[in-house]
Amino acid sequence: MVNTDYYEILGVSRDASPEEIKRAYRRLARQYHPDVAEGDGAEEQFKEVTRAYEVLSNPEKRQMYDAGVDPSAPGGGQGFGQGFGFQDIFETFFGGQTARRGPVPRARRGQDALVRLEIELAEAAFGVHRELQVDTAVTCPTCEGSCCRPGTSPRTCEVCGGHGTVQRVARSFLGQVMTSSPCPTCHGFGTVIPEPCPECSGEGRVRARRTLSVDVPAGVETGTRIKLPGQGEVGPAGGPPGDVYLEVRERPHATLVRQGDDLHCSLPVPMTAAALGTVVSLETLDGTREIDIRPGTQPGEVVTVRGLGVGHLRGAGRGDLHVHVDVQVPSGLDAEQERLLRELAALRGEERPEPRLAPAQPGMFAKLRDKLAGR
């Protein structure tokens, strides 16, 4: 088994695409580069990230690594514990009892799983505890991972004698050559299952529905992944489980638009209230708040309320709430209202010629609000 988990070092899943691996490496390389990062361990972390990328970005090396051999380990790609070195390869082709590898373990690590989790804006802002139902593989309750019918046990393969490999001798221009390959009878395990478990058909695991408990921290956003170590599928023959990665998707809010840890919203205010000043009630994630509109507030002005945004994912505190004032100009005036406005305009010396255009369309802030909402 390989001791170093290169996937975990780069923070990607085992089925990550080459592009995901490249993006993860670029991000971590910038973070730990000795010319940028502070601390004595930055250089060593940079080397570790680079070594992980050199293996996982190369398809052949990645295939070797997924098969349990670390190609970057000392000894020309020898795996930890049971890999082939040059001497092993030489003896495999030219004979010798030491060329035989040990049998392949029947128990193997289970696969990682990716689960998508939808949350509301308020849950992203404050954090939430969730119980999730997932269909996964669990250890067979009948055979407890042994793959055998209760009361029976695996039997040593008679073809390979428990070695997991068989050797064949052939003649070539080099002379007599001995090759080694996995035993076709036991498939390299060294043992056979004479009576497979009837419940799992000799797999050592069955499909079942499990409940996962997860605490989603405040500050997550769409695309954030939360790792649940050891909560993935149990491997064949009761092998260790993989990991579960929760990928967060944040649902759009009816009135609030998120940008980073800050929130934005529009607040409609009548023209007269904007001119005279007022107090307007606004629904926020923290309940109803009173927003002070100062006299003479102009269209598009922003009132910032500190600490009513989204909680910071790393560190204490929260973002802010930015209230964009949408001054509403009255339309459809009756005769009396029009007369009063004309008198006000005269008093302020703001008389203008009669309009030649149709009533105005939605104003500047309406466009800003649509832009913030992504419309």
Q: Residue ranges of the alpha helices (H) in the chain?
A: 6-10, 18-32, 42-56, 59-66, 86-94, 121-126, 271-276, 335-347, 364-372
Helix (H, G, I), strand (E, B), or coil: what is residue 18?
helix
Residues 6 or more apart in contact with residue 109 via CB below 8 angstroms: 235, 239, 240, 241, 242
Q: Which of 216, 13, 229 is nearest to 117 (CA)?
A: 216
Residues 6+ apart with CB under 8 A from 340: none
Positive or negative: CA dihedral 344, 349, 355, 357 = negative
Is 147 annotated in some ligand binding site?
no
CB–CB of 76/90 below 8 Å? Answer: no
Q: Is 265 annotated as a binding residue?
A: no
Torsion angles phi and psi, residue 52, rounded to 5 = -65, -40
Is 148 part of any known ligand binding site? no
d(CA 28, CA 50): 9
Q: 140: annotated binding-site residue? A: yes
User: Which of helix, strand or coil describes residue 196?
Assistant: strand
Distance CA 357, CA 61 (A): 71
Biggest CA pair distance of the chain:
114
Which long-range contacts (C-beta less than 8 Å, at least 24 apart) are formed by 364-369? 364/299, 364/300, 365/266, 365/299, 365/300, 365/324, 365/325, 365/326, 365/327, 366/326, 368/266, 368/300, 368/324, 369/266, 369/324, 369/326
Give the residue numbers of the binding site for Zn(2+): 140, 143, 157, 160, 183, 186, 197, 200
Give the residue numbers of the binding site: 140, 143, 157, 160, 183, 186, 197, 200
